[in-house]
Amino acid sequence: MSLISVRDLVVRIGDRVIASVPELDVAAGECVAIVGESGSGKTTTLLSTLGLVHGADVSGRITVGDVDVLTASPARLRDIRGSRAALVMQSPQAALNPTMRLGTLMRRALARHGVKGADARERAEEGVRAVLLDPEILRRYPHQVSGGQAQRFAIALALALGAQVVLADEPTSALDVTVQAEVVAVLRRLRDERGLAVLLVSHDLALVSTIADRVVVMRDGAVVESGPAAEVFTRPRDPYTRELIAAVPALPDAGPALPDAGPALPERAEGS
Partner 1 sequence: MTAPALPVFRRTPLRRLAGVDRLAVAGAVLLGIVVLAALLAPWIAPYPEDGGSATHPLEALLPPSGAHWFGTDQVGRDVLSRVLFGARTSLLIAVAVLAVSGVAGVILGVVAGYAGGWARDVIMRVTDIFLAFPALLLSLALAVVLQPSVTTVIVAIAVTWWPWYARLTASVASSVATRGFVDSARCLGVPAPLIVLRHVLPNSLTPVLVQLSLDGGGVILTAAALSYLGLGAHEPTSEWGLMVQQGQSLFTTDWWVVTFPGLAILVTAFSFNVLGEGLRARLSR
Q: Which residues bind partner 1 (CB under 8 A)?
A: 50, 52, 77-83, 86-87, 89-91, 94-100, 108-109, 112-113, 154, 157, 161
Residues 6+ apart with CB under 8 A from 9: 19, 20, 21, 22, 24, 45, 48, 58, 59, 60, 61, 62
Long-range pairs for 111-119: beta carbons < 8 A, 24 or more residues apart = 112/82, 113/79, 113/82, 113/83, 113/161, 113/162, 115/161
Which one, 51 or 236, has the nearer CB to partner 1?
A: 51
Buried b / exposed e over 217-235, threshold 16 CB at 10 Å, is: bbbebebbbbbebeebbee
Shortest Cβ 81–partner 1 spacing (Å): 4
90 touches 169 (CB < 8 A) = yes
Rg (CA), the chain: 19
Which one, 3 or 161, has the nearer CB to partner 1?
A: 161
Shortest Cβ 77–partner 1 spacing (Å): 7
Shortest Cβ 211–partner 1 spacing (Å): 21
Shortest Cβ 129–partner 1 spacing (Å): 21
Which one, 137 or 157, has the nearer CB to partner 1?
A: 157
From CA 18, how far away is CA 178, in angstroms rounded? 34
Shortest Cβ 268–partner 1 spacing (Å): 31
Pairing of strands 67-68, 214-219: unpaired
86 touches 161 (CB < 8 A) = yes
Which one, 16 or 54, has the nearer CB to partner 1?
A: 54
Which one, 166 or 244, has the nearer CB to partner 1?
A: 166
The amino acid that residue 241 corresponds to is T
Which one, 151 or 226, has the nearer CB to partner 1?
A: 151
Which one, 63 or 90, has the nearer CB to partner 1?
A: 90
**Residue 138 CA, distance from chain mean position:** 23
Shortest Cβ 91–partner 1 spacing (Å): 6
Shortest Cβ 10–partner 1 spacing (Å): 22
